[in-house]
Each structure stands twice: as structure tokens, then as C-alpha cells.
Amino acid sequence: MIVQIATLGPLGRLKAPGTWGSAAGLLWWALVVRYAHQKGGPHEFIFDSLVVLTAILLCGVAAAFIGKKDPSEVILDEFAAMPLVFLFNPYVYGGATSFVFILLGFLFFRLFDITKPFGIKALEKLPGGFGIVLDDVMAAIYANLALQAVSRLWASLV
């Protein structure tokens, strides 16, 4: 059951599993996590943090069951990190341009997750679920910062 959760069922066995995990995470954010934002305060951050901590545990156990350090079919890490891309960005919660900013956030996340610049690759060396999940969390943080920069640029032009 843990492996099924960590691979998001059949999604982890598809071609480009990280992209499918990210897409599932985007759907999760759109249908569930955005509600936490509407509550105000730190709710969304706390909720995202709990999902990430759960992913660290489950991905580590699933990797041990599978017998690989960071199995490509384990995509709960992308799923859990994806919502972090949109934290504290008002441009993704409505308005005429929200779809563009959401799409851009998704693309930034995939770019940073695939290329692993600025120390992201080093995080993969951490043990167990920490190494599996925290590189994706850092990719999400970089994607968030890039999206924040674009948002501020957009705000200054409009």
C-alpha cells in the first residue's frame, strides 16, 4: 500500500513519471490546497509542510521496499512539493491572468526539478526520504521565487 501511495498508483509507471507526479500535485493544489489559502494566515504553509513531512516518510519506506535509493516511479515527492510553488503569490488565486501564472509555476518547477541547479542536486545525497523529497522541495522554492519575480514584474507593468 505504501508503494502504491508513493507511486500515485499507475502514474509512477507512465513515461515521464516526474511530470505526471507534478501534474497530480498541481491538481491537488487546485482542488484541495487552495481552500487552505482561503482560510488565511499560515494554514496553507502548515498544510503543505505536513504533506511534505508525510511524503518524506512514505517515499523513504517505499524506496526501501523497491530496493532503490530514489526510484523514478516514486513520484509522491513531486506531488507534495508542487503546491509550494504557489505559496504567497496572489496572482494564482483568481483574476484574468491566474491560469498563465499557474502554468508558468508548473513549468518553472519542472525546469528546476529536471536541471537541479544551485545545490538542488546535493540534496539528493541526503538519506532515505529526505534525499528523495527535499530536492523537489528546493526546486519548488526556486520555482516559487522565479514566479514571485515574474509576478512583481507583471505588477509593475500593469
d(CA 61, CA 3): 8
The pLDDT, as a whole number, for residue 96 is: 82
pLDDT-flagged residues of the chain (< 70): 37-41
List b or e across 20-49, with b for residues whose CB sees 16 or more CB atoms inside 10 angstroms: bbbbbbbebbeeebbebbeeeeeebeebbe
Please report, for the chain, the start and end positions of each structural domain, with discontinuous segments joined by +.
Answer: 2-157
The pLDDT, as a whole number, for residue 41 is: 58
The pLDDT, as a whole number, for residue 34 is: 80
